[in-house]
């Protein structure tokens, strides 16, 4: 770093001593230059030390926040209730909630009312006010401390053996400040993108919810890198003399070349992460290029300024640990226990494929032959299909309760379109019977938060799904309606689909849900909305028989033109190409279905527009003061499946 020392106008002598500064070149004392240059050096090293302090404060704040969230999770109060055997069945005895519990729930309800809805959707996308609040706090910190502690002064210093002079300002300190903050943000940005996330373990928030902050912090780092580059370009290309000799010497130095390379890589990462660019190049190119270029960027930053290599080492460590844990989990799932396999080793899980055609590309029901893999309701796996490629994996929610193992996959472009071709290749046995297509599968997971556990507090449940989002809500409803603890609560299953043919995806499960709804043992209802107009009368009659069995009860015509089929607690509605109002569905469930002795959970999955409407609807029915008075109807939570972040 001799060139850096020379650039900072430091000249050593026999009486000089080195003063260490963490993250920077050592300072040579005493200063033997002119008074202006010595004052400038004082300000440079002071601003650098302050910059290091601000990076440490940033991480201290992040660490403290995580500790507080973890402590709150551990100390979360639970509702006091127990089961007793009294007669033929179990009876749930509920005590009045404690003040601690009611206060906890009231605070949460108040926060949900204000920070659950989405805001500035046109600019930020489908994110909650809470996510925007966290981003605003980070941006506020970075904005304030990028300018606080900068010496706003100008020094005109002479150049030896020349009539020219250098203009020295606090711009160099500012450029170094934003560069240092960009380095400090890098490990956090990598952690926010990790699937095996320590942030998830600490906070309980699904890893995909951090993708929004990952994207925006990446953009912040790009802006900081640009400002850092611009600042030193102006200093070396304009303020320092003589020109162009000074700038040529500057740009040819090794650490500056690596800085330019790093700037190129971060720009590449930004451009190729734009949605319209991903649409042009394909998601798989984006994912693979992102991994490779991100690694190269970390290496270039290390080479650019090795004094702050600690941030790059931490980033590479998080990156490598995430990938290592993924490989280990995959190896443990597939170690020598596959059905029909012999010996110890890595064995793929065999699966059968059943294809259902529709105008949107079709749907595949994939069923695994080995059901011994453990997971909880609401979790998902990343699936790889070696028959197609080993370089792609995609997340799919398990659409069954533990003991079974199947997935519902919408066929689109890329990998799922090739899987569709594989699924439509049927084979025939020697007896001439057609068999389902089969293919090996590699699983990685499970990931996500368990929606229902043996210790879950009984709650009213409204499960709303759109299309293949039923993969999340179906197993939840099957598990809840089979659990004795949920016998007294209201459970509604709402499924919104475009076409009646979608009912084939889960035909056997719908039969089971119909049986449970009509049994009268549990407070359970099913409502299916078909949004496309059906002109074929025969198709309508066929659907009615499929849903309700052979019945003489005719379909009714609602006043708004909707066509309804009702039988006990199983209802089907045709909405004439209009989507049902999720706000009305939630409101109706709260007012007429929910038991006032229990709080309410809304669980949803589907298009982003559904998430937008559900967040607004659920936030409306949260009221902290009423929850504090133990009015549980006003304590409503939302679990929205957003695997794509």
Q: What is the pLDDT of residue 430?
A: 46
* Least confident residue range of 193-202, 596-605, 616-625: 193-202
Does residue 541 carry a pLDDT above 70? no
Q: Could you give the CA distance from residue 331 to residue 323 in angstroms, rounded to a whole number? A: 12
Q: Could you give the CA distance from residue 351 to residue 440 in angstroms, rounded to a whole number? A: 6
Does residue 44 carry a pLDDT above 60? yes
Q: What is the mean pLDDT of residues 383-412?
A: 90
Give 111: exposed, middle or buried? Use CB within 10 Å, 0-12, 13-18, 19+: middle
Q: What is the pLDDT of residue 343?
A: 56
The angle at the Cα of 385, spanning 383 to 386, to the nearest 5 degrees, equals 135
Q: How confident is the model at residue 534 (pLDDT cuts 50, 70, 90)?
A: low
Q: How confident is the model at residue 93 (pLDDT cuts 50, 70, 90)?
A: low
Q: What is the mean pLDDT of residues 350-356?
A: 90
Does residue 341 carry a pLDDT above 70? no
Q: Could you give the CA distance from residue 633 to residue 620 in angstroms, rounded to a whole number? A: 12
Q: Are 15 and 106 in contact (CB under 8 A)?
A: no
Q: How confident is the model at residue 373 (pLDDT cuts 50, 70, 90)?
A: low
Q: pLDDT averaged over the chain?
A: 86
- What does the pLDDT look like over 108-130, one tens digit per residue? 999 999 999 999 999 999 999 99
* Least confident residue range of 167-181, 409-423, 610-624: 409-423
Report the Cα–Cα distance between both ends of the chain, in Å, rounded: 43
Does residue 566 carry a pLDDT above 90? no
Q: Which residue has the higher pLDDT, 442 or 569?
A: 442
Q: What is the pLDDT of residue 270?
A: 97
Q: Could you give the CA distance from residue 438 to residue 425 in angstroms, rounded to a whole number? A: 9
Does residue 264 carry a pLDDT above 60? yes
Closest CA to 377 of 507, 516, 505, 471: 471
Q: How confident is the model at residue 435 (pLDDT cuts 50, 70, 90)?
A: low
* Least confident residue range of 474-483, 566-575, 619-628, 632-641: 566-575
β-sheet bridge partners, residue 447 = 380
Q: What is the pLDDT of residue 552?
A: 33
Does residue 433 carry a pLDDT above 70? no
Q: What is the mean pLDDT of residues 130-154?
A: 95
Q: Which residue has the higher pLDDT, 451 or 542?
A: 451
Dihedral sign for Cα 408, 412, 415, 417, please.
Answer: positive
What does the CA dihedral 23, 25, 31, 32 come to, rounded to 10 degrees?
A: -160
Q: What is the pLDDT of residue 342?
A: 55
Q: What is the mean pLDDT of residues 511-540?
A: 78
Q: Could you give the CA distance from residue 372 to residue 438 in angstroms, rounded to a whole number? A: 19
Report helix, strand or coil for 355.
strand
Does residue 553 carry a pLDDT above 80? no
Q: What is the pLDDT of residue 547?
A: 55
Does residue 554 carry a pLDDT above 80? no
Helix orientation angle between 283-304 and 171-192, rounded to the nearest 10 degrees: 140
Q: Are 102 and 623 in contact (CB under 8 A)?
A: no
Q: How confident is the model at residue 82 (pLDDT cuts 50, 70, 90)?
A: low
Q: What is the mean pLDDT of residues 522-547?
A: 69
For the whole model, what pTM was predicted?
0.89
Kindly write down the DSSP assignment for every residue of 33-83, as one continuous string.
S-HHHHHHHHHHHHHHHHHHHHHHHHHHHHHHHHHHHHHHHHT-----EEE
Q: What is the pLDDT of residue 573?
A: 87
- What does the pLDDT look like over 248-262, one tens digit per residue? 999 999 999 999 999
Q: How confident is the model at residue 625 (pLDDT cuts 50, 70, 90)?
A: very high
The radius of gyration of the chain's CA atoms, rounded to the nearest angstrom, is 31
Does residue 535 carry a pLDDT above 50? no
Give 465: exposed, middle or buried? Use CB within 10 Å, 0-12, 13-18, 19+: buried
Q: How confident is the model at residue 518 (pLDDT cuts 50, 70, 90)?
A: confident
Give 176: exposed, middle or buried? Use CB within 10 Å, 0-12, 13-18, 19+: buried
Q: Which residue has the higher pLDDT, 389 or 302?
A: 302
- 215's enclosing H/E stretch is helix 211-234
Q: Which residue has the higher pLDDT, 345 or 387?
A: 387
Give 617: exposed, middle or buried? Use CB within 10 Å, 0-12, 13-18, 19+: buried
Q: What is the mean pLDDT of residues 125-146?
A: 95
Q: Which residue has the higher pLDDT, 460 or 500?
A: 460
Q: How confident is the model at residue 215 (pLDDT cuts 50, 70, 90)?
A: very high
- 27's enclosing H/E stretch is strand 27-29
Neighbours of 306 (CB within 10 A): 13
Q: Are 639 and 602 in contact (CB under 8 A)?
A: yes
Q: What is the mean pLDDT of residues 597-611?
A: 93
Does residue 332 carry a pLDDT above 70? yes
Q: What is the mean pLDDT of residues 365-373?
A: 79
Q: Which residue has the higher pLDDT, 228 or 556?
A: 228
């Amino acid at each position: 770093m001799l060139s850096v020392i020379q650039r900072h106008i430091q000249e050593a002598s026999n009486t000089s001593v080195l003063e260490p500064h963490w993250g920077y070149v050592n300072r040579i004392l005493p200063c033997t230059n002119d008074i202006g240059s010595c004052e400038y050096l004082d300000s440079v090293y002071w601003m650098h030390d302050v910059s290091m302090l601000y990076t440490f404060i940033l991480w201290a704040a992040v660490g403290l926040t995580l500790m507080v969230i973890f402590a709150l999770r551990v100390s979360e109060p639970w509702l006091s209730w127990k089961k007793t055997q009294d007669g033929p069945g179990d009876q749930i005895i509920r005590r009045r909630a404690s003040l601690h519990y009611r206060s906890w729930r009231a605070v949460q309800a108040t926060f949900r009312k204000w920070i659950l809805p989405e805001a500035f959707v046109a600019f930020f996308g489908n994110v909650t006010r809470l996510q925007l609040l966290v981003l605003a706090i980070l941006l506020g910190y970075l904005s304030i401390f990028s300018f606080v502690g900068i010496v706003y002064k100008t020094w005109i210093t002479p150049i030896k053996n020349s009539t020219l002079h250098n203009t020295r300002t606090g711009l160099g300190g500012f450029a170094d400040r934003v560069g240092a903050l960009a380095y400090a943000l890098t490990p956090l940005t990598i952690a926010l993108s990790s699937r095996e996330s320590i942030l998830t373990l600490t906070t309980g928030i699904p890893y995909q919810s951090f993708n929004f902050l990952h994207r925006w912090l990446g953009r912040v780092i790009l802006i900081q890198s640009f400002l850092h580059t611009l600042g030193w370009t102006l200093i070396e290309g304009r303020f320092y003399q003589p020109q162009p000799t000074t700038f040529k010497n500057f740009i040819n130095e090794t650490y500056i070349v690596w800085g330019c390379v790093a700037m190129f890589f971060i720009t590449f990462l930004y451009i190729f992460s734009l949605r319209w660019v991903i649409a042009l190049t394909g998601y798989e190119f984006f994912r693979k290029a992102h991994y490779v270029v991100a690694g190269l960027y970390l290496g270039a930053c290390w080479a650019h300024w090795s004094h702050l290599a600690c941030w790059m080492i931490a980033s590479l460590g998080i990156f490598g640990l995430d990938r290592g844990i993924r490989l280990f989990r995959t190896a443990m799932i597939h170690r020598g226990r596959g059905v029909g396999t012999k010996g110890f080793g890595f064995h793929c899980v065999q699966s059968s494929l059943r294809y259902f055609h529709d105008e949107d590309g079709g749907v595949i029901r994939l069923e695994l032959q080995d059901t011994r893999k453990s997971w909880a309701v609401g979790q998902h796996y990343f699936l790889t299909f070696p028959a197609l490629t080993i370089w792609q994996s995609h997340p799919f929610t398990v659409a069954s309760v533990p003991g079974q193992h199947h997935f519902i996959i919408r066929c689109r472009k890329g990998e799922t379109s090739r899987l569709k071709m594989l699924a439509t290749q049927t084979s025939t046995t020697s007896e001439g019977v057609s068999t389902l297509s089969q293919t090996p599968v590699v699983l990685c997971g499970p990931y996500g938060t368990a929606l229902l556990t043996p210790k879950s507090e009984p709650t009213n449940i409204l499960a709303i799904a759109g299309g293949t989002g039923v993969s999340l809500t179906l197993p939840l409803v099957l598990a809840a309606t089979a659990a004795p603890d949920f016998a007294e609560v209201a459970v509604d299953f709402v499924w919104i689909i475009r076409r009646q043919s979608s009912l084939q995806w889960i035909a056997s499960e719908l039969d089971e849900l119909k049986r449970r709804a009509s049994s009268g043992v549990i407070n359970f209802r099913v409502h299916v909305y078909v949004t496309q107009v059906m002109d074929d009368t025969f198709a309508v009659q066929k659907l009615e028989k499929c849903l309700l069995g052979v019945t003489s009860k005719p379909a009714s015509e609602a006043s708004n033109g909707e066509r309804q089929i009702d039988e006990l607690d199983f209802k089907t509605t045709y909405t004439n190409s209009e989507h049902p109002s999720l706000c009305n569905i939630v409101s109706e469930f709260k007012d007429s279905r929910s038991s006032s002795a229990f709080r309410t959970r809304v669980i949803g999955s589907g298009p982003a527009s559904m998430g937008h409407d559900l967040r607004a609807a659920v936030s409306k029915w949260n009221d902290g003061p009423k929850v504090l008075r133990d009015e549980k109807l006003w304590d409503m939570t939302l679990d929205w499946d957003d695997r794509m972040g």
